[in-house]
Chain A
């Protein structure tokens, strides 16, 4: 296997994982207007959960790594556990942060939650082995067919893309349904939406939990490929990479999410690796963050609604519609 096959496959896997994250964040932010600045926490929850249910029982303090929930679950329970972890953590955090509170405050609370979670997980070693993190995570599905994730990266890439495609289709369908429309109504005017009977608190919690489950799933897929997970992998900055992706691609447009995820995390963040090692060590790494900032600014300047803006739903008058009703009620109901 050439280095190139491995490299390209890895890019594809990252694309699939980031696409899942982008779909979840677009549902929450693009459709429902929930500014989830703690997004990465839910991906991390899925990754940790997938790791500990794959690693087997923890050896305790004596072992080189310690963790809770240690077990060896067969496929597909590993990924189900990851999604459930993302959903449950979302539900708990959502229940106190999404109450009747202004949106900018919600965003601030969620950002703070993500900072706190990072500190707690880093400091509390018995939880998920502290700042050293967990390592040695394998791929349960691969074991069934006798391959490892890094040994057969092409297969893993195809697997990741398949899951991303299924989730994409499901979320796309939901978003176009009356439920998705209600989310947009809530996003555009909360008071008007609730004045027509929409339960804002419940809708917000629903997208929060669904998005959290998808984030957890994406974390599970990621950790089973890279084999390790530690606080270094989920700084709050990662949340902003995904936000940048959907912002550049086009908020509220799932095709835009694909484009944004291709451009921002995959190309912008990967390309600087090819620059010759100039300057002081670490300069290239910092450049990645510069490109994220540049992407935001260029986008604000030239395409404020993103490369592919939210698509307008065009309707034409159907032929069978009766003429003007004298009393505009009861008609057609």
Chain B
């Protein structure tokens, strides 16, 4: 097990200068390389079939790890096991050094885990604005005690979240959608709302399941920039993505899954040249 972790640690990340991201990380250099998220031998099985079979991953502070692989490889199931939405039948997961393996999704979220879903999960009968501030307030907003006994603090928090929501909306050119219901948005707009919702929360780890699907090209570029920008705060990101160009531009390290197993990992250049990856995925 120790072996495995060593193998997946950030220290093995290739210092390839071909990646613009890698140079950025090097020039920032302000953060320590301690992992924010470590998953060891995670197993997910649906009725006996292993959709995720002993997958391990370690994400360092400020690192962006890409997970790629063919359809049905188990990528979303793996993210679900990390987030707590999917039942894990084996393995350990720790977030910021705490064992979260048997925690419920909301407990993991409170420790700093945020995620988006492959099928967009906007709140359909709430406006974009409400989607954002609900996320920003999180469990404090959901606390009846807080709302009833501390109305001033509640109002303050609401104001702070309002300001923040407007900033993020402006950043993503979504101000005109502020009063639209989730169900009134286009597919790409729904994705953006999900991502903006995560950004409202200052997470320590961000799990993204195909965040770029349906997002306009110029916004994809922006999103890449934003993800790079926020990772400077020490955020760790795991991103599942089919668009290899995005993966190339964004990820420090790539994990390739097929049939529930990790078949290769390393820098983007390394994995695309890997023979087994070529066979299983890139063909």
Contacts and interface: CB of A to CB of B under 8 A. Distances in A.
Interface stretch (B7-15, B21-29, B135-143): B135-143
Interface string B104-133: 111001100111010001111111011101
B199 interface: yes
B51 to A, nearest CB: 18
A46 B135 CA distance: 37
Contacts of B232: 327
Nearest to B124: A188
Task: Pick from B110, B121, B168 the residue with the most CB of A within 10 Å.
Answer: B121
Interface stretch (B41-49, B89-97, B176-184, B257-265): B176-184
A88 B110 CA distance: 30
B5 interface: no
Interface in A300-329: 310, 312-315, 317-318, 321-329
A129 to B, nearest CB: 37
Contacts of A325: 167, 171
Contacts of A322: 163, 167
Interface in B175-209: 175, 178-179, 181-182, 194, 197, 199, 201-202
Interface size class of B (residues with CB under 8 A): 35 or more
Contact of B142 (A178, A192, A327): A178
Contacts of A321: 163, 166-167, 170
A3 interface: no
Contact of B123 (A178, A184, A332): A184
B6 interface: no
Interface string A167-205: 000000010011101101101110111111111100100
B19 to A, nearest CB: 21
Contacts of B279: none
Contacts of B54: none
A323 B181 CA distance: 25
Contacts of B104: 194, 199
Contacts of B140: 178
A275 interface: no
A198 B22 CA distance: 36
A196 B135 contact: yes
A101 interface: no
B202 A330 contact: yes
A317 B175 contact: yes
Given A195-B109, A328-B230, A188 B133 contact: no
Nearest to B131: A185
A332 B160 contact: yes
A189 B154 contact: no
A153 B133 CA distance: 47
Contact residues of A: prevailing secondary structure: loop
B243 to A, nearest CB: 22
B178 to A, nearest CB: 6
A195 B199 contact: no
Contacts of A191: 85, 105, 117, 121
B143 A179 contact: yes
Contacts of A194: 84, 104-106, 109
Contacts of B113: 195
Given A317-B166, A321-B163, A328-B168, A179 B109 contact: no
B211 interface: no
Contact of A178 (B147, B163, B226, B229): B147
B164 interface: yes
A97 interface: no
Contact of B197 (A187, A196, A310): A196
A198 B201 CA distance: 13
Contacts of B230: 327-329
Interface string B218-230: 0000000010011
A260 B114 CA distance: 40
B167 A328 contact: yes
B83 interface: yes
Contacts of A250: none
A331 interface: yes
Interface string A253-284: 00000000000000000000000000000000
Interface of A: 174, 177-179, 181-182, 184-185, 187-189, 191-200, 203, 206, 252, 310, 312-315, 317-318, 321-333
Given A327-B232, A328-B199, 4 more contacts: A181-B130, A182-B142, A198-B138, A324-B170
Closest 7 CB pairs of A and B: A178-B141, A332-B163, A192-B121, A182-B142, A188-B123, A197-B109, A197-B138
